[in-house]
Chains A and B, each alone.
Chain A
Amino acid sequence: MKDDTAAPALAARQEKAGFKESATPFLRAMLAIVWKDLAAEWRSREVISSMLVFALLIIFIFNFALELNPQTRADLASGILWATFTFAGTLGLNRSMAVEKDRGCLDGLLLAPVDRTAIYFGKLLANLVFMLAVAAIVLPIFSVLYNVNLFNPGLLMVILLGSWGYVAVGTLLASMAVQTRTRDVLLPILLFPVAIPVLVAAVKASGGYMSAAPWDEIAPWINLLLVYDVVFTAAAFMVFDYVVEE
């Protein structure tokens, strides 16, 4: 569907640039970017390792700050989990866009004959993989440390949906933040207030699953998560062109 709508604009753009052969299809371009990010990460292991250590540190800080005992632990678990993902997520988002900006890689990507939204979705998916990878390691550690079982399919779905919404708007804002003077401090300031609806819904839904609440109580939050996932993805998809144009 995406290819149909993008094709005429893309063709016009290529004609102007003097391209003869057809451009890289949307899906292939997007997967190429995801692959590039994952391969670079596999070789350097910079982003995931720093996110992971940071996430564990946050969990320990929460433990000292809140003096978690078995009773309060259960009520606070979903909040702590999402605070951890949020903070670790900013680290990853900042890094993934900063490497593009530093060596002029972004300019290279923009010069490539691909639809620019393919770049956005490629970065989004790569960031999502990083966040889910961190979650996949944090969850068992959290389960062991606090003696709670976090492996239920509902909770995993909430983590997927919540991470998607967070990364969808985060990728857009990170690509703006790295182009400013105050880039390292700016991303969390820009991202947190906007991402609050996603985080509130994710915390409430996770809490519901952890305390085995009935579906009627969880459903509104899942709906809210879905709505914000769609809205943020659609909005970022529409405005991403303006963020990277020069």
Chain B
Amino acid sequence: MTKTKPRWLTILDVVTVIFLVAASALVFLYAPTEKTMGDVQRVFYFHVSVGWTGMLGFLFALIAGIMYLRSHDHKWDIAELAGIEIGLVFMLINIVTGSIWAYPAWNTWWTWDPRLTTATIMELAYAAYLMLRSGIEDPERRARFGAVYAIIAFISVPLTFFSIRLWNTIHPVVIGSNDPGATGAFNMSPRMTQTFMFSLLTFSIVFVDLFWHRYRLGRLADEVETRKLKLVE
């Protein structure tokens, strides 16, 4: 295991920063101002992108959890924890940016809308995952139970996506069909679509970069642990 930072990771860091700056520039300068909602609509580009990144994190955790149970290889446990930690942070950003948008658009910071509620329950489920881990000392059992819970918790995630079709929601669906009862919906102009796609790409790169860092950190922490044990012996 290499202790120095891989060169590709440094390059990826730089690329991530460049993309983030470019995406911010597109959102604030290139994308047109939305007619009815005005400038606050610009939060949409990052709101959806961080939501996507959060989902990606939970999906990675699910896959890593299944792989861990199959192989009992500790590296999958590190990957799973990395996915969930990133997912938690980005879903929180998603909820907060949504709230910032909701105040002018819906005239309230928070409504008990199914979409909002399920997103928050998801956040709580993965917070419970971290509590489960902190309650177990044995690393092997911690990894095993973590993998099981990552799988079970992901079952509650699809509901977030489908809830929007099942209930009557006021949360707009910009991509695909739209509920007539939704408040704050709009049609995207080509410039908006370009900005949106670029934001999605940017946050996917941010995800890969963070995931790599977190995974590497986990591996290094493991190595410190084993060296400590060797010292004790």
Partners in one complex: yes
Q: Which of B111-131 contact A (CB under 8 A)?
A: 118, 121-122, 124-125, 128, 131
Residue in B closest to A193 when the chains form the complex, CB atoms = B125
Q: Are A194 and B131 in contact (CB under 8 A)?
A: no
Q: Are B148 and A186 in contact (CB under 8 A)?
A: no
Q: Are A220 and B149 in contact (CB under 8 A)?
A: no
In the complex, per-residue mask of A176-209: 1 if CB is within 8 Å of any chain B CB, else 0: 1001111100100110111011000000000000
Partner of A232, one of B128, B144, B155, B166: B155
Partner of A176, one of B122, B149, B156: B149
Closest CB in chain B relative to A86 CB, distance in Å: 14
Q: Are A239 and B69 in contact (CB under 8 A)?
A: yes
Q: Which bucket holds chain A's interface residue count? A: 20 to 34
Closest CB in chain A relative to B116 CB, distance in Å: 13
Question: Is B19 an interface residue, CB under 8 A from the partner?
Answer: no
Question: Is A51 an interface residue, CB under 8 A from the partner?
Answer: no
Q: Which of B79-130 contact A (CB under 8 A)?
A: 118, 121-122, 124-125, 128
In the complex, per-residue mask of B136-159: 1 if CB is within 8 Å of any chain A CB, else 0: 110001001101110111011001
Q: Are B132 and A235 in contact (CB under 8 A)?
A: no
Residue in B closest to A183 when the chains form the complex, CB atoms = B135
Q: Are B131 and A186 in contact (CB under 8 A)?
A: yes
Bound complex: CA of A176 vs CA of B141, how far in Å?
A: 10
Q: List the A side residues contacting B166 at CB < 8 Å.
A: 220, 224
Q: Which of B145-189 contact A (CB under 8 A)?
A: 145, 147-149, 151-153, 155-156, 159, 166
Bound complex: CA of A190 vs CA of B122, how far in Å?
A: 12
Question: Is A243 an interface residue, CB under 8 A from the partner?
Answer: yes
Contact A180/B135 with A239-B69, A242-B69, A243-B144 known, Cβ cut-off 8 Å? yes
Bound complex: CA of A47 vs CA of B17, how far in Å?
A: 58
Partner of A196, one of B69, B137, B156: B156
Q: Are B147 and A197 in contact (CB under 8 A)?
A: no
Q: List the A side residues contacting B156 at CB < 8 Å.
A: 193-194, 196-197
Contact A176/B132 with A196-B156, A197-B156, A232-B155 known, Cβ cut-off 8 Å? yes
Q: Are B148 and A242 in contact (CB under 8 A)?
A: yes
Question: Is A169 an interface residue, CB under 8 A from the partner?
Answer: yes
In the complex, per-residue mask of B198-228: 1 if CB is within 8 Å of any chain A CB, else 0: 0000000000000000000000000000000
Extra contacts, 17 of them, besides A181-B137, A182-B134 (Cβ < 8 A), are A173-B149, A176-B149, A186-B131, A189-B128, A190-B128, A193-B121, A193-B128, A194-B153, A194-B156, A196-B118, A196-B121, A197-B156, A197-B159, A220-B166, A236-B152, A239-B151, A242-B69
| Chain B residues close to A by CB (< 8 Å) | 69, 118, 121-122, 124-125, 128, 131-132, 134-137, 141, 144-145, 147-149, 151-153, 155-156, 159, 166
In the assembled complex, 22 residue pairs joining A and B whose CB atoms fall closer than 8 Å, in A order, are A172-B152, A176-B132, A176-B149, A179-B136, A179-B145, A181-B135, A181-B137, A182-B131, A182-B134, A186-B132, A189-B128, A190-B131, A190-B149, A193-B122, A194-B153, A196-B118, A231-B155, A235-B151, A239-B152, A243-B145, A243-B148, A245-B144
